[in-house]
Structure 1
Amino acid sequence: MQKSLVAEFLGTFWLVFGGCGSAVLAAAFPELGIGFVGVAFAFGLTVLTMAFAVGGISGGHFNPAVSVGLAVAGKFPAGRVVPYIAVQVIGAIVAAALLYAVASGKAGFELGGFSANGYGEHSPGGYSLLSALVIEVVLTSFFIFIILGSTSSRVPAGFAPIAIGLALTPIHLISIPVTNTSVNPSLSTGQALFVGGWALQQLWLFWVAPLIGGVLGGLVWKMTGEVASTDATS
């Protein structure tokens, strides 16, 4: 258990530091062309690389919604959900703190949005609370479904991190304009703690929506994916 928790801490740290770091630091140079696409790939690659690195130790969740979704699907012990979520949140906060330390070292530094998630006037595209809720629930549920499907016994072993990392890329491409993309409550928490104010006030949505999505993804897998797996082997 201890090794699994350390792995989850490291994986979540890398996800936040690499993904949000690309948004906060690299995207500040638009002439280099990173933009939404670069940030989306950065998030996908962080998950892909750490899923390969420590997935065999902890399962490579790095996200409270993933832990909840897998538990709902019966693929993860319910008793381990809370410890996993705790270290995921800690990993995200530590990553955000170090990212802040780096970013604030630039002359004239202004915190700005610091890659925090928001809706309404704090949505990158000005999208409403309802839009944010829908996009976060739908995309998180599909993310959980893809994780469960790519790690099932029907799929050749060893390729799941690729599918999972690539899935996170279009998820970001779709939802960055709407919420700046959460689908991960720990990530949202770390960034919101440093932005404060509106980010903390709106943080509830980026716990509620991804967790609902996680539950839905796990339930849909139990109703469809497991049935298909049973049929294929019968």
Structure 2
Amino acid sequence: MVLDHIRAKVHVKNDLVRALLAEFTGTFLLLLIGNSAVAQHVLKRPQPADMVNVYIGFALAILFGVAVSAKISGGHINPAVSLMFLTFKQLSPLRFVLYTIVQTLGAFFGALVSYAVYCDAINHFDGGNHTVVGPRATAGIFASYPSLHLSNFNGLLDQIVGTAVFCFLIAHVTDKRNSYASWLQPVLVGTAFLGVGVAFGYNAGFPMNPARDFGPRLFTLFVYGGEVFSHKNWFWVPVLGPFIGAVLGGWLYQFLIGFHTPQDVEEKYVVLTGNQELKPLTGKEVVEAEPLVVS
């Protein structure tokens, strides 16, 4: 009764405001959990095989980031995913712009809180000399940086291909013709990102999400200085690459699989749309509501 009384007082009635709050919160959780997983990986001087902890950490971060926001906003938590659904005509241009802004803000504050939790450990590790590159570099906890062997062109290709695979799988999971239960979709999206991390994590840490990379990079500007943007002129790669890859992967799914998948006329389950459940990939009932996920 107490919760119902409070809910009646504070419940946000505007659908768009609710959706923006959900996208902010989901992306905040993504970065808080994900960056903290990377912090543990970096600060304990791990062996290379220990990267599996980062893969699992980010997969779980996406799973729960999507799960907590999906019924309200669709649970994108990734501007590249929002762009994919925009091209599917399942998201309005206004919502795409606003989603991108709040997702980036959520990532910024998620990184900030993660830094606050681990700031003593970071200072102990690097002696208070926060650097972007080198044996004691810690900026990579929060945003992506290319490996020594990686060129910007190859890095762009890495981001395009990795995000294309991820969004191909998201398009499959959210396609109503595949009849995945709404509770299962965040699990499958998180699992898909685990697969992407295992396959594409070596070159630059598989950001695959413009907000996930740019928001924390903007935060680290105040802690690490301008090199977070100037180093190898890299900062634009994990922003542009995922946008290209998301559209490419989403439409490859449609042309290779989605447009050819028969509708199961016996299927009783219907994925609700809009601010109630994860949005299906197609359907006449969909106008401007937001589909599932991620970044």
TM over 0.5, shorter chain: yes
Q: TM-score normalised to the size of structure 2?
A: 0.71
Scaled by the length of structure 1, the TM-score of the pair is 0.88
Pick aligned residue for 2:242 from 195, 201, 210: 210
2:202 is aligned to: 177
- Counterparts of 1:56 and 1:184 in 2: how far apart (Å)? 21
1:35 offset after TM fit, Å?
2.0
Tell whether the 8 Å contact from 2:41 to 2:51 is kept in structure 1 after alignment: no
Please say if residues 185 and 207 of structure 1, whose CA atoms lie closer than 8 Å, have aligned partners that are also in contact.
yes
2:162 paired with 1:139: yes
- Distance in 1 (CA, whole Å) between partners of 2:27 and 2:252 is 25
Contact 1:114 1:191 in 2 (8 A): no
Contact 2:64–2:186 under 8 Å retained in 1: yes
Paired residue type of 1:40: Y
TM-fit CA distance, 1:185: 0.8
Q: Which stretch of the first structure deviates more once superposed, 9-18 or 166-175?
A: 166-175
Tell me how far 1:232 sits from its aligned partner: 4.1
1:71-150 counterparts in 2 under 5 A?
71-106=86-121, 107=124, 108-111=127-130, 112=137, 113-115=139-141, 116-119=143-146, 123=147, 126-150=149-173
**Does the CA-based 8 Å contact 2:59-2:191 persist in structure 1?**
yes
Q: Measure how far apart 1:188 and its partner are.
A: 0.9
Stretches of structure 2 that go unaligned for 5 or more consecutive residues are 1-15, 131-136, 266-295
Largest Rg, 1 or 2: 2
Distance change (3 Å), C-alpha of 1:218 and 1:57: same
Distance in 2, Cα, partners of 1:47 & 1:27: 20
- Partners of 1:26 and 1:34 within 8 A in 2: no
Q: Distance in 1 between matches of 2:47 and 2:18?
A: 39
Structure 1 Cα separation of the partners of residues 257 and 72 of structure 2: 24
1:22 aligns with 2:37: yes
Name the CA distance, whole Å, in 1 between partners of 2:88 and 2:45.
42
- Please state whether the residue corresponding to 1:156 is helix, strand or coil: coil
Q: Which residue is 1:65 aligned to?
A: 80
Equivalents in 2 of 1:68, 1:31: separation in Å?
36
2:79 is the alignment partner of 1:54:
no
Q: CA deviation at 1:203?
A: 1.1
Per-residue deviation, residues 144-174 of structure 1 (Å, max 9, x unmatched): 1111110111232221111100111121223
Q: Quote the sequence identity (%).
A: 28
Note closer, same or farther for the CA distance 1:211–1:196 as it changes in structure 2 (3 Å cut).
Answer: farther
Which is further off, 31-40 or 70-79? 31-40
Match of 2:180 in 1: 156
The structure that is helix-richer by fraction is: 1
Q: Relative to 1, partners in 2 of residues 1:59 and 1:101: Cα closer, same or farther, differing over 3 Å?
A: same
Runs of 4 or more off by more than 4 Å in structure 1? 30-34
Kindly tell me: are residues 55 and 36 of structure 1, through their superposed partners in 2, closer, same or farther at Cα, counting changes over 3 Å? same
